[in-house]
Amino acid sequence: MRLFSLDFLDLTPKLVSKAYAFAESNHYGQVRKHTEEPYITHPVAVAAVINQLRQDEDMIIASLLHDIVEDTEVELIEIVNKFNIRSADLVLELTSDKIEKKKMGKKKYLVEKINNMSSDALTIKLVDRLHNISDINVDIVPIGFAKWYWKETRYILEHIDRNLNKEQLALIGLIDSMLNYIKILYNFNYSVSAD
């Protein structure tokens, strides 16, 4: 199920195009879990939605680079030097601390992170989660992974405890709709606990 268009890249400013090229080269050879699509399709999809919502260049750049520090050898200082501090700050907010995540447990870590990040980072994070959840397809993704991701996402949504703007509430509504769709798609015939 494809909800996102990559066409916006033809219309982007020079710095966004540079961020795309940087992300594409650093994610080269990586593929999406279960779909085997080139990994770059994910940050591009997130950036496309951010472009539709905000048309904020720094947020679009951060969307394109949101997984780059966590999943490649790129260091945050490179993002500061090649792009700008605001985009780098957003990427930092979106990058998981592997030690803290292990210590706290992934779900609790993500909830704490989401509840304390800036509003712009939260918007990117919600679009990231929306794209990930929309990529779950019964023909490709094993039921075990679908249940695990469904439970994790449900837990996160149930534990968001912060002020949300209308855009973020709408994104949460879309994520919730996708969760319901996945529950039907995979024929979860029982209540899947979020704990």
Cβ 15 vs Cβ 57: under 8 Å:
yes
Using CA atoms, how far apart are residues 95 and 79, in angstroms rounded to an integer?
13
pLDDT in tens, 129-173: 999 999 888 778 888 899 999 999 999 999 999 999 999 999 999
Comparing 85 with 36, the larger pLDDT belongs to 85
Verify that 71 and 147 share a domain, yes or no.
no
The catalytic residue among 37, 70, 100, 158 is 70
Verify that 68 and 137 share a domain, yes or no.
no
The catalytic residue among 24, 56, 71, 78 is 71
Task: Kindly list the distances between the CA atom of residue 172 and the CA atoms of 33, 81, 155, 156, in Å, as whole numbers in the listed order.
Answer: 23, 33, 12, 10
Is a pLDDT exceeding 80 seen at residue 174?
Answer: yes
Q: What tokens were used for 28?
A: 């080269």
Verify that 125 and 89 share a domain, yes or no.
no
Domain closes at, from 95, 128, 145: 95
Using CA atoms, how far apart are residues 169 and 97, in angstroms rounded to an integer?
26
Range of the domain at 159: 96-195
How much is the average pLDDT of 104-110?
Answer: 96
Q: What pTM does this model have?
A: 0.91
Cβ 150 vs Cβ 134: under 8 Å:
no
4: in domain: no
**90 membership: H or E segment, kind and range:** helix 85-94
How much is the average pLDDT of 75-83?
Answer: 96
Verify that 185 and 110 share a domain, yes or no.
yes
Check residue 185 and give its pLDDT.
85
Q: Number of structural domains, the chain?
A: 2
- Give the SS3 label for residue 163: coil
Q: What tokens were used for 137?
A: 């397809």
Using CA atoms, how far apart are residues 85 and 137, in angstroms rounded to an integer?
37
Which long-range contacts does 171-178 make (Cβ < 8 Å, 24+ apart)? 171/123, 171/126, 171/127, 171/130, 172/126, 174/130, 175/126, 175/129, 175/130, 175/133, 178/130, 178/133, 178/134, 178/136
Check residue 194 and give its pLDDT.
46
Domain closes at, from 77, 95, 113: 95
pLDDT in tens, 6-64: 565 555 678 898 999 999 999 999 999 888 899 999 999 999 999 999 889 999 999 99
Verify that 141 and 159 share a domain, yes or no.
yes
- Max Cα distance, the chain (Å): 51
Using CA atoms, how far apart are residues 178 and 135, in angstroms rounded to an integer?
10
Residue 89 is among the residues annotated as catalytic for this protein: no
Residue 70 is among the residues annotated as catalytic for this protein: yes
